């Protein structure tokens, strides 16, 4: 390994140490550490560090064909320490500003789409529903009027026939029906009493 390659390797590892510091702060910002320990939390941490290790290996593969030396770890630690000392607060402020900017942009786009697309469609559906209900009400009233017009002659004929039918016969039939119902009820009671005595 030449001196130039060693210098490039150390410089790239310093930058990777800075990158790991930024990644840790970003991960901590979105995956809060205050929550209780959970297996999903452990899996997230494992995947995070696995991705960082793969990124470091990928950079090493392009710089020095993935040759591992002791000074590589020293360079990583130096880069991480430099980030903590120089860029920690600045990056956290920048990260918070970016999060707020993205949230504000999302809210603006949501309100814009809601005002330009969702609300007009909602009002259009409400208008079409109101028109359909109004037409249905008119159609229902029209059908009722037609029904009354068509069946009014039958109604008049029925009333006329009802006037000529002697009412006494209907009353006699009603009395006979009640007598028959009473007789059937008493017969049923007698049969029930007879069965009870037999048991």
Kindly state the tokens that stand for 2.
């030449």
- Higher pLDDT residue, 176 or 186? 186
Mean pLDDT of 66-83: 87
> What pLDDT digit, counting tens, does each position of 80-127 carry?
999 999 888 999 999 999 999 999 999 999 999 988 888 889 899 999
Query: What's the burial of 13, exposed, middle or buried (CB within 10 Å: 0-12/13-18/19+)?
Result: buried
Please enumerate in sequence order all residues whose Cβ is within 8 A of that of 64, keeping only pairs 6 or more positions apart, or say none: 1, 5, 6, 8, 9
Q: Is 18 helix (H, G, I), strand (E, B) or coil?
A: helix
Q: Name the DSSP class of 37.
A: P
Asked whether the predicted pLDDT for residue 140 surpasses 70, the reply is yes
pTM for this predicted structure: 0.58
Q: Is 124 helix (H, G, I), strand (E, B) or coil?
A: helix
Asked whether the predicted pLDDT for residue 163 surpasses 90, the reply is no
CB 87 within 8 A of CB 21: yes
Q: Give the rounded percent of residues in the chain with a pLDDT score beyond 90.
A: 35
Question: pLDDT class for 176, splitting at 50, 70, 90?
Answer: low
Mean pLDDT of 163-190: 62
Report how far residue 82's alpha carbon sits from residue 49's, in angstroms, rounded to the nearest whole number: 20
């Amino acid at each position: 390994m030449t001196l130039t390659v060693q210098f490039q390797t150390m410089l790239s590892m310093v930058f990777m140490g800075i990158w790991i510091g930024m990644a840790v702060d970003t991960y901590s910002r979105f995956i809060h550490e205050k929550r209780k320990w959970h297996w999903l939390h452990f899996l997230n941490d494992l995947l995070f560090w696995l991705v960082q290790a793969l990124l470091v290996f990928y950079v090493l593969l392009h710089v020095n064909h993935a040759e591992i030396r002791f000074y590589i770890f020293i360079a990583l630690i130096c880069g991480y320490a430099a980030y903590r000392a120089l860029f920690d607060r600045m990056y956290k402020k920048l990260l918070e500003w970016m999060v707020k900017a993205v949230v504000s942009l999302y809210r603006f786009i949501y309100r814009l789409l809601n005002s330009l697309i969702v609300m007009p469609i909602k009002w259009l559906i409400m208008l079409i529903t109101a028109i359909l209900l109004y037409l249905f009400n008119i159609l229902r009233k029209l059908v009722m009027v037609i029904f009354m017009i068509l069946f009014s002659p039958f109604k008049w004929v029925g009333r006329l026939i009802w006037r000529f039918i002697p009412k006494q016969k209907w009353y006699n039939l009603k009395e006979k029906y009640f007598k028959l119902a009473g007789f059937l009820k008493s017969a049923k009671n007698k049969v029930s009493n007879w069965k009870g005595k037999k048991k």
